[in-house]
Amino acid sequence: MRRRGSGGQASVEAIAAVPLVVTAVLVAWQLAVLVRGAVVAQEHLRAAAIAAHGRGLGTRIRIAARGVVAAP
């Protein structure tokens, strides 16, 4: 036998959990974007360092706004 007033309690609890789930998803998304950006930046820097070394420019590298380029 069901108690009075307990109908819909599970629905209320599920709706209350939605903001927590959304927050967790957004935090995970931001972490993934941050890690991907760091990996891409590291790959660009490494490629520029290898290119600079291959041209005899040493390890002096200038980081531009749209990428990494070897310093003149």
Q: Convert the pLDDT of each residue in 11-45 to its tens digit.
A: 888 898 999 999 999 999 999 999 999 999 999 99
Q: Is 22 exposed, middle or buried (0-12, 13-18, 19+ CB in 10 A)?
A: exposed
Residue-level pLDDT at 37: 95
The residue ranking higher by pLDDT, 50 or 63, is: 50
Cβ burial 2-11 (10 Å sphere, 16+ → b, else e):
eeeeeeeeee
Answer whether residue 48 shows pLDDT above 80. Answer: yes
The chain-wide mean pLDDT, for the chain, equals: 79
Please state the pTM of the whole predicted model: 0.56
